Amino acid sequence: MGFRRSLRTILFTDIVGSTKRASEMGDRSWRDLQGRHHGIVREELARWAGFEATETGDGFMALFDDPARGIVCAHAIRERVRDLGLEIRAGLHLGQTEQDPDGSVGGIAVHIAARVANEAGPGEIVVTSAVRDAEAGSGFEFEDLGYRPLKGVVREWRLFRISGIPESAADLAPGRWERMRRRLGSRRVGGVAAIVLVALGMGGWYLLAGERAEATDRSIAVLPFETIGESADPTFTEGIHGDVLTRLSGLSGLDVISRTSVMRYRDREKSPPEIAEELGVAWVLQGEVQQVGDRVQVNARLVDAREDRQVWAENYGRELTAANVFEIQRQITLQIVGALETRLTREEEAAIASEPTGDLEAYRLYVHGRGLLDQRTEASMRLALEYFQRAVARDSSYALAWAGFADALGLLKSYGHPLPDDAPAPRRAARRALELNPELAEAHASLGVILVDLERNGPAAIRELMRAVELRPSYADAHNWLSWVYQLLGRPVEALESARRAVELNPLGPEPLSNLSLSYMENGAWREGLDEARRTREIQSDFTTGPFYEALALYHMERFREAESALRGLSVPWAGSGTHDLRTSIQVASGEIARVRERLARLEAEAENPFSAGLVHAALGEEDEAFEAFLRVERWDHWPTLALRYFFPDILDPLREDPRYNELLEALNRDWGLQPDGSFPGDG
């Protein structure tokens, strides 16, 4: 099935001064002491529900479901090995891990955690700001170490030393039955190969080497439902399909493929195993909707795609009312939860049981509006706005319709189209949705996009999008937007983690694939960026961002002719002058200076694009003129922001070593709502 990805706390430990100690003690004595150390580490990992990912010579890499247990486990190991006359150092980071089919665990987050451990002194436990933020206010004491460069990591990370553990930390140890469940391969651990089977015997636990227990794979694709009968409304069918998918994507125990990807199978004659293989899932849900008069019937069946075996099938016939439609969706969702052995929280149970509206016509209007909004043309977005407006007119308490209303308003405005004279502000519509339902992921995501695109408040946008992901873990669009905002704010590592998650949930969506391409390049991975850009073009040839990123990657790989070919006839509206800037940079690299001078003369005569003028001056080695142009930029839009932060090292690196470059970064950071140094307001 490929990589399995999950958000984990990663702990690295290491014995301080082990080489010197080994030479002083001799091999046999050192091996005995080292074995006692390893035994303590493994005992504490079992006690605090940590999973041993790998042994690293004199240390360990372990994974935890939450940061608190990782911190307390590191503290317990440190205190116990001191009785052996040893000191350890430990580092922790919270981020996305990747598990290979062979069981090995890796990813950028793992690399960061290892580098953080290198920053720790003897006896110290050092954590990243991601861990500190997750446990702020929980009783742990953190000593700020400031921003530190980490070897092999693009940006500096703010680190903290653990200086105090709360007395309540002992309560974090799970019971022994929970420990057994985790050892037997809980979904959140990820089913890593070579997990040992823990058996309960007289006197305690016994590890049976060589046994393994595979976790249930809870990845699922909800295929488009089929409309049966000539009189049935396809929009109504899409609504039921979309709502089942949305309810499932709010469950933390499942990985649910997004609507964008599954809709590509609407008219494809492929078997469930074939579709599952392409989407990287274990389960497939299929269904049909039939409407006859005032009754509706929904047929649903769940297929275990690994064995091509139907697990259950059910027919739901009801009188056609809003309450009955939502009850059918609830029953289907609960059937899947039971079949996949997923445990629900109280909040998830409440969300599944919710009835968004009691007005069937308002529901139909909302569904139709969502379908139109996905098309992203001006005409379709304006029509979607009308449908959402009619939906909230029928039911003013319909939070989802208000969220759709906010999305339509925000997208129209961000695409440069005028809003109707009587339209409310996009933020007002999003706030209304949240007033009606503070736990609505769509409303938080909508507000996040509005905050960054229209109000340029990046930190506030991050908070809203993170809340959306928390409420709907499989919300692919929110992960994708979160990646985009992280890119604009100068957080390329976090951007890449979010982009990968978005593609895992929406593997056939051109937008998340192109976003992953850009994220790779921002982290210096040009080859990977090129591969994803080409995948984007293969999936949707008219999605112009794909070939633009392909050209950007090729330029940075010094394959200038191929880059120029990819740019031929290309226009990318959101990137503004980006295609022209890239062409000019290729011309400089190819020695076509006369053409470059011609463009510079036009730019200076028009005086409307100081960023592009500055980039040309920089390419020509005219640093003073470049800074003069850059400092005239009043609004740092998307493309100039990304270019200045990440790209054109051959052109901009000389400027990046100049003190004036910091002035540019400070202005850019302020323009996106950051502190001048790039930190979030309130970070201290």
- Residue 209 predicted with pLDDT over 60: no
With a cut of 90, say whether residue 378 has pLDDT above it. no
Taking the C-alpha atoms of residue 639 and residue 580, their distance in angstroms, rounded to an integer, is: 12
Name residue, tokens 């492929």: 270
Q: What pLDDT sits at residue 5?
A: 60
The reported pLDDT for the residue numbered 216 is 46
Q: Which of 20-24, 322-326, 612-616 shows the lowest per-residue confidence on average (mean pLDDT)?
A: 20-24
List the domain boundaries for the chain. Answer: 4-173, 175-215, 219-355
User: Does 202 score more than 50 pLDDT?
Assistant: no
Residue 100 has a pLDDT of 66
> Is the confidence at residue 137, as pLDDT, over 80?
no
pLDDT of residue 185: 33
Number of helices (H), then strands (E), belonging to the chain: the values are 30, 16
CA separation for the pair 568, 577 (Å, rounded): 14
pLDDT of residue 611: 96
Which pLDDT belongs to residue 154?
55
pLDDT band, residue 193 (cuts 50/70/90):
very low
Q: What is the pLDDT of residue 182?
A: 36
On average, the pLDDT of the chain sits at: 85
**Residue range 257-285: average pLDDT?**
89
Residue 683: per-residue pLDDT: 60
pLDDT, residue 540, reads 86
Question: Nearest 5 degrees, angle CA 373-CA 377-CA 383?
Answer: 55
With H, G, I as helix, E, B as strand and everything else as coil, classify residue 219. strand
C-alpha–C-alpha distance, residues 311 and 305, integer Å: 10
Give the dihedral of Cα atoms 87, 62, 100, 553; nearest 10 deg. -70
pLDDT confidence of residue 101: 62
679, pLDDT greater than 80: yes
- The predicted structure's pLDDT at residue 183: 32
Q: Please tell me which residue, 476 or 32, carries the higher pLDDT value.
A: 476
78/167 Cα distance (integer angstroms): 17
Amino acid at 311: V
Which CATH architecture describes the domain 219-355?
3-Layer(aba) Sandwich (3.40)
Average pLDDT on 124-147 reads 87
pLDDT at 58 over 90: no
Q: Where are the alpha helices (H) located in 340-440, listed in sequence order?
A: 346-352, 360-373, 378-394, 399-414, 426-436
pTM comes to 0.69
Greater confidence (176 vs 417) lies with 417
Q: Residue 180 above 50 pLDDT? A: no
Burial class (CB in 10 A: 0-12, 13-18, 19+), 240: buried
More confident residue, 362 or 193: 362
By C-alpha distance, which of 664, 585, 575, 649 is closest to 617? 585
Mean pLDDT over 326-338 rounds to: 90
More reliable by pLDDT, 182 or 55: 55
- Which H or E run includes 322? helix 322-339
List, for residues 580-622, the tens digit of each pLDDT value: 999 999 999 999 999 999 999 999 998 889 999 999 999 999 9
Same fold flag, 4-173 and 219-355? no
Q: Where are the alpha helices (DSSP H) in 454-491?
A: 458-471, 476-488
pLDDT tens profile 35-50: 889 989 988 988 888 8
pLDDT at res. 206? 23
Residue range 476-485: mean pLDDT, rounded: 94
Looking at 144-153, 330-339, 544-553, 658-667, which range is the least confident one? 144-153
Of 40-49, 215-224, 348-357, 607-616, highest mean pLDDT: 607-616
Confidence class for position 155, pLDDT limits 50, 70, 90: low
| Domain boundaries 4-173, corresponding CATH code | 3.30.70.1230
pLDDT at 416 over 90: no
